Every structure is written in C-alpha cells, then in structure tokens.
Amino acid sequence: MGDQGTSGPGTPHHLVDHLFRNRAGQMVAWLARVFGPAHLDLAEEVVQDALVKALQRWPYSGIPDNPSGWLLTVARNGALDVLRRNASFAGRAHEIARELERATKGSDEDSTVEDDELRMIFMCCHPSLTPDARIALSLKTVGGFGVAEIASAFLTTDAAIAQRLVRAKRALRDNKVGLELPAGQELAERLDSVLAVIYLLFNEGYSAHAGEQAVRQDLCGEAMRLGQIVTRSAHLARTRAPVAHALNALMSFQAARLPARVDENGELVLLEDQDRARWDHGLVARGFAHLERSAEGDEMSTYHVQASIAAVHAGAATPDETRWPAILALYDDLVALNPSPVVRLNRVVALSKVEGPAPALAALADIEREPALAHYSLLPAVKARLLAEVGDLQGAAGAYRRALAEPCTEPERRFLLRRLAACEE
C-alpha cells in the first residue's frame, strides 16, 4: 500500500480468528449498557460503523498493531457523535461520555468486558422471549453473528431471523427488561435458560457436518466461549456455578471428539470406531477440570450425568477399555432425571454392551411405539444393529430401510446405506 512503514514485513498480515465477531459482540454488550438496553439498535449501528471504517481504511493503511484497540477507539468516537447529535440523551450525556472514556482507557480489562457479555446473554434469555428469539438475539448481540449467518445456522431464511430479532427487541422494551442481573430464585431460573440456549447452540454446531457451511461448526466454539464466560463470572460463584461447569465439561468432552468424528472422505465415524489419537486432548483435560468443579455443589443435573458419561468414554484409551457398566449406571441416573424416549433409547445401547443384544432388544420393545420417536432414524438404526448382532440379518436390513425412510443428514444416510449393504451381502 502507500505507506510502506505500516505494511512492510513484520506488521500484521492477518487477524486472530473471529476477532471481528468477538469484538463486535463485546462492544455491542458494552454500548448497550452505556446507552441503556432500550438503545440496543443504536449500539449495533455504532459497532457496525466502526467495523466498516476498518474495512475502508485498513486495506490502505495495513492492519494496525492493536486492531481491537483501534476498533474500540473508533466505536467510542462513533458513540460520542451519537451523543452529540441525539437530543434524547441530553440529560445523561455527561455520564454516558464519562463511561465511554473510561472503557477506552484500558483500565478495566477483561472482567468488565465479560461482565457486560454476561449481562447481555442473561438479558437475551429473559422469560418474555420465545426460545427461538433468545437464541437469535444471543447470537446477534453478544455472539456477533450476522442475520444471514444465523439464518443458515438454523436452516431458515434471513427474513425469519430478522423478524424474530425485531419481535425480541420489542418484547424487551415492552417488558422494560434491563441489564441488571436477577437475584435468588429468578437468577437460578434465568441461568437454566441461559445454559439451555448455550447447549442448543452447541448441539446445532455439533450436528453440523462437513458439507455444511462453516458457520454451523463455529457454533460449538461460540457456545463454549459463552459457557466459559458464565463459569468465570463472579456473580454465579456462590450459587449455581457447578451446573454451569457440568455443561462446560459436557461440551468440552464432545468437542474433543470432533476431529475424529469424520474420516478423510467426509464420512461419519461412530464413537467406537474413532481414532482416539485424533481427539483434542487439551479439550479432554478441560472437560475433566470442569467435571471436578461441577462436583462442588449438591446439585445433580442432567448435564452432570451426561458429562460423566462422556468422561467415561474420554477415559478409555481404546473402545475395548470402555467401562460400559459405569455408563449403564449413569444412564439409569439420567433416565431417572429425564425419562424421555431419546434418553431411554441411548440407555438401550449401553445395556446391549453390558448384557448383550437380546435383553437390549427386549428393552427396545418398550420404547419402540413412543410417538416422539416415530420419525427418529436412530431408533430403527439401533434396532437394526442389535438384530444383526443376534444374527437376524433380514430383520436388520428391514430396520435399516426403515431408518433410511426417516429424515437424516447426508453422511448419516451414506452410513446407513453401507450398513444395509453389509446385511445384504
């Protein structure tokens, strides 16, 4: 570019992954607090303008040494402009200006930034919002995702997401929802809601396969980032941090397996067939650390049990070393907490590993007719597997065909076809 001094060798040529997205989320959370949550649209505009300015300037000037600081300064200046031009802030202008300056002095660092993010996600999970709205608003604001990205992550249209956001913001304004954290029982309930949103995001990302847009896989990373913000918050330390740690443990163990979940041909690999050397062992270690913290309270949530199951798998160096009786006992605990048909189906798989396929088929008969599983391809797939194990290949083939008749992803479909072919040989 024109000025060799800022663009020569040694100066930044790339940005940290997701820097813009993360900083956008942080700055929206900050400005929503400083201007007031009723001015969320304004906060988003100011942040977007700052990013556009970077986009217009950095191609000529090069990437600055401190890109985050640059963005923050420009956002602050944009916010000050808004303050000057906008009469509705007149009464609070001095106070707001002071708050804007304070953040850019760099004295408060990470704890204030994360505090803003925590408040924002708690606000986004307010009970007056529908679950869909909570997810969309969380991703748009503190997540820093764009409307089109959220739409493709949730396999819907831009217009549908845009509408969800408009309604969500209106609900917040109508209910005068602020960024103050609730207390006591309300805090506990809101935390449940926040954790549910985080886990939903994680599952959307986890179920995304290689053929889909990268943004879906990004959701796992974003969910884990939000989970870390929750557990690091001082506001929750004395109350229900252990359950948040349980969720973080579960997400860490599952995410650890992502590199091994798909083979070089893009084909799905079952847990028992995965190359465990490809598991992210840093994430496994993080999972165990969170699991330990999760045991500090009295509470035993479904996240605790699911994380414990994932931990048993993570602790087995090879599939043969898997302690299935421990897993079966944990599934018994999970069913007691949440007797949903899906959970009971997962328990059947564990049962088959401990007692063999025949008792598992008997247990399966109990849940086969559950309406919730009517179009769940995993049910006939499990049955097919068990029938093949007892030697009924014809029955297995029939069950695989039933599984293929239900909705499933492309990699899942190819997997089932291979299993069907194996039965028919």
Partner 1 sequence: MPKYILLLHDNVSAFANVSPEQMQKVIEKYVRWGNKLREMGVVKGGEKLSDEPGKVMRAGDGQVRVTDGPYSETKEVLGGYYLIEAPTYAAAVEYASDCPQLEYGGTIEVRQIDSM
Q: Which residues contact partner 1 (rule: CB under 8 A)?
A: 1-2, 7, 13-15, 18-21, 23-24, 48, 51-52, 54-63, 144-149, 215, 218
Which C-beta is closer to partner 1: that of 148 or that of 374?
148
Name the minimum Å distance from CB 231 to partner 1. 25
Name the minimum Å distance from CB 308 to partner 1. 35
Which C-beta is closer to partner 1: that of 4 or that of 128?
4
Sorted by sequence, the CB contacts under 8 Å of residue 349 that are 6+ apart come out as 360, 382
Which C-beta is closer to partner 1: that of 64 or that of 315?
64
Which C-beta is closer to partner 1: that of 146 or that of 398?
146
Q: What is the 3-state secondary structure (H, E, C) of 24-39?
A: HHHHHHHHHHHHCHHH
Closest CA to 248 of 259, 236, 261: 236
Which C-beta is closer to partner 1: that of 26 or that of 322?
26
Name the minimum Å distance from CB 386 to partner 1. 44
Instruction: In whole angstroms, give the CA distance from residue 130 to residue 389.
Output: 44
Which C-beta is closer to partner 1: that of 2 or that of 184?
2
Name the minimum Å distance from CB 53 to partner 1. 8
Name the minimum Å distance from CB 7 to partner 1. 7
Name the minimum Å distance from CB 196 to partner 1. 25
